[in-house]
A and B are shown apart, each in its own frame.
Chain A
Amino acid sequence: MNEKVKGKGKSKSPKIIVILGFIVAAITLFPMYIMVVNSFKGREQIFTDTLGLPKSLDFSYYLAAINKMNFFQALFNSLTVTIISTVIIVVLSSMTAWALVRSSSKIADIILMIFIVTMLIPFQSVMIPLMQYMNSWDISSINFSMINTFYGLIFMNVGFGSSLAIFLYHGFIKGVPRSLEEAAMIDGCNKFQIFWKIVFPTLKPVTATVAILNVIGIWNDYLLPSLVLRDPNLRTIPLATFYFFGEFTIQWNMAMAGLVLTILPVIIFYLFSQKYIIKGFMAGAIK
């Protein structure tokens, strides 16, 4: 199917829309500009001349920020937690959503409802009971603990991320015709094969969406990791940037440098996964 035929309209669209698009883009990126520009300035210049370009590209704040934040350790920690959590969420949630949608029992509907409805629970209200409960899972004889470990944090991330993922998957799976699956069943494939070989590939757009949303959410998460992780060398990046955010004052230039460093990996991931998304969308369009 020729991509050019899709979304047919005049190939030369009014210039006005393009201009509008650029204006929106500028508004979108403006805060980013502020962040980057001010990460090179001394404290004085930040207050007197916030909008302007820095007098010089002073990377010393970046070096100081990297140092103070123990950046590379924090980067590794964030990558580990984020990637593993996201992969598990994608795998488990897609499987669960598919099984629940295809099953025609009342129980399946109820379970689905519960997953979705609990998305509304604010984290702050379950925070302390959660910590109390997870703490009780300690088995000190084999050094197992849900607190102060990555696997504990990942476990909790999966718990919190499942609702939205299942919700998104279930919405799209309903639009996938059963015909292909039924044909495969007749051919003698078992459920695992049907799911992974036939269904999952068609879910690429949603998988991409679920992946991005979780990567961003988990990467930027401060509250949960601050309660679960205690060792300084386990700190994820948001935890590491606390150095610059005091109770009453913010060391803006260092904070900006730290924040730019925080966002950079996500932006890089986003730039790369964008290409994958395009492929995924196109593949999804070819039914």
Chain B
Amino acid sequence: MKSKKSLSIICAIAVTLSTLVGCSSNTAGSSSGTVVVTLIQNKVEIQSQLEAAAKTFNESQTGVKVQVLGSTGDNLVTTLQSQFASAPAKAPTVFTCQSGSEFDKFFKYMAPMDSAKASKNIAKGQKDDAMKNGKLYGLPLAIEGIGLIYNKAIFKAAGVDPTSIKTMDDLDAACAKVAKVKGIVHPLAFSKETYFQFMHPFNWPFAVMSNYKEVIPKVISGQLKLKDVPEVKQFANDLTKLKPYTNLALDSYDDQVAGFAQGKYAMIHQGNWAQSIIDQYKVKFDYGMIPMPVNGNTSLAVGNTNFFHVNSAATKEQQAGGIKFLDWLLTSPAGQKIVTNEFKVIPAYNGFDTSKLPVLAQEVSKYSKSGKTVPWTFNLFPAGVDKDCTSAMQEFYAGKIKTDQLLDQIQEVWKNAAQK
């Protein structure tokens, strides 16, 4: 019968096709001694450049073949989770994950990396988050800096000298002047994503403390009330005063940067990664980065959350191959050039030529080289608090809760999150 015949033809084709494709997909396992190393990461901005780098590396030698896999931002953790849960040996050889709770989560699959050449050149303070029990378990790629990206032309028109902003009150005064400039909708803009709305701003009060490593655990356990920590209380009060000059964190990251590029916002609280987006607007004004003057602070918050780790369940040859690639990328002249010129990131290492880096990266580099940096402390915040704390921030900005309530809510979220 007609339909039965065509059905059987379809089935025949189906089976043939699937076996064909099923065969061609197998690349794991070596052919004649070449070790295949897989690498996965989720910074979409450097994905294609990384693939090109791998190609160059593969062509430059014959022992190791690097295959770059891909993933979207939030899907990476899910993917890694499921692969490590089912067959760790087949999970990617080199993978990235965030410091803090993700690091702890995947720690049992990380191999020590002290043998890497690159580990000797890591810039000051940048390897702490990947150290455990005295050994190094990850290699950073880039450092990033957070601060206030500001429009130099608007500052000039408002008569504000960026170097004069040394306290939060100075910032308020500057905002008042800037607000009068034509075209300004808000002097200062935050963006609404969880990390940008809560984690990064709330980093400042802790980052300027010398003993944040003791304070944060005490807050989490409830020993210390968040609203009794003077730096934090002060910051929350400062934010309340600053609020009227801001966009109340109502914009998405895209819109926040768009607003900056169009001259609607004079300052945005962001990191140097915004560079690639600003570039797409081909802005005509000069811009730079200044610190958030919390407690008289004059440093940018510099840190790094993305480390490359090596899968300890992979074969010894694969692990060595992964380290070989990373060393090539981070210590060889060819690799280093790719990092600065193609990835356009600020290397977390000494010995790089950073002169070709774009504007914001240069600013961060400047502060970093002169030691004017404060750390990223939010890696010590408990896992998964970003979402609920951001909800509290939203209520705060909407005027529904005041500083004490805000701090109490944040602490409540931290306490709940830390309970097993």
Contacts and interface: CB of A to CB of B under 8 A. Distances in A.
A–B proximity contact (CB within 8 A): yes
Interface string A229-273: 011111100010011111111101000000000000000000000
Interface string B1-39: 101100100110010011101110111000000000010
Contact of A226 (B14, B21, B48, B75): B75
B21 to A, nearest CB: 5
Nearest to B276: A249
Given A131-B85, A233-B25, A196 B1 contact: yes
A255 to B, nearest CB: 11
Contacts of A197: 1
Interface string B59-72: 00000000111111
B281 A84 contact: no
Contact of B67 (A68, A84, A132, A232): A232
A150 B21 contact: yes
Contact of A242 (B4, B71, B83, B281): B71
Contacts of B73: 245-248
Given A87-B11, A128-B82, A196-B1, A147 B87 contact: yes
B37 to A, nearest CB: 13
B47 A243 contact: yes
Contacts of A136: 86
B148 to A, nearest CB: 18
Interface stretch (B155-163, B207-215, B251-259, B327-335): B251-259
B27 A231 contact: yes
A118 interface: no
Nearest to B44: A246
A128 B67 contact: no
A84 B1 contact: no
A84 B72 contact: no
Contacts of B254: 47, 249-250, 252
B42 interface: yes
Q: Is the interface of A mostly helix, strand, loop or mixed?
A: helix
B413 to A, nearest CB: 22
A131 B86 contact: yes
A248 B42 CA distance: 11
Nearest to A231: B25
B45 A246 contact: yes
Contacts of A150: 17-18, 21-22, 25
Contact of B22 (A47, A88, A151, A245): A151
A226 B71 contact: yes
B81 A128 contact: yes
A60 interface: no
A149 B1 contact: no
A242 B72 contact: yes
Of the listed residues A201, A226, A234, A244, the one surrounded by the most CB atoms of chain B closer than 10 A to its CB is A226
Chain A, interface size category, equals 35 or more
B280 interface: yes
B86 A135 contact: yes
A245 B25 contact: no
Nearest to A149: B22
B69 A151 contact: no
A11 interface: no
Nearest to B76: A247
Contacts of B258: 47
Nearest to A67: B48
A249 to B, nearest CB: 6
Contacts of A244: 44
Contacts of B388: none
Given A226-B75, A234-B25, A135 B67 contact: no
B277 interface: yes
A244 B196 CA distance: 20
Interface string B176-208: 000000000000000001011000000000000
A135 B91 CA distance: 12
A149 B18 CA distance: 8
A246 B70 CA distance: 11
Contacts of B286: none
Given A151-B22, A231-B27, A249 B69 contact: no
A135 B90 CA distance: 10
A135 B25 CA distance: 16
B78 interface: yes
Interface string A194-238: 001100110000000000000000000011001100111111000
Nearest to B255: A47
Given A226-B75, A243-B44, A84 B18 contact: yes
A239 B75 CA distance: 11
B386 to A, nearest CB: 13
B193 A227 contact: no
A80 interface: yes
A96 interface: no
A197 B3 CA distance: 9
Given A87-B10, A197-B1, A250-B254, A232 B69 contact: yes
Contacts of A91: 7, 11
B56 interface: no
A150 B14 CA distance: 11
A196 B290 CA distance: 75
B79 interface: yes
B3 A230 contact: no
Contacts of B14: 83-84, 87-88
B44 A242 contact: yes
A226 B85 contact: no
Contacts of A200: 3
B69 A230 contact: yes
The 6 closest A-B pairs by CB, nearest first: A247-B73, A246-B44, A135-B86, A242-B72, A132-B86, A149-B22
7 contacts: A68-B48, A84-B17, A222-B75, A226-B75, A231-B27, A247-B42, A247-B72
Interface of B: 1, 3-4, 7, 10-11, 14, 17-19, 21-23, 25-27, 38, 42-45, 47-48, 67-75, 78-79, 81-83, 85-87, 90, 193, 195-196, 253-255, 258, 262, 277, 280-282
Given A131-B83, A223-B75, A249-B253, 6 more contacts: A91-B11, A131-B82, A134-B86, A196-B1, A227-B78, A242-B44
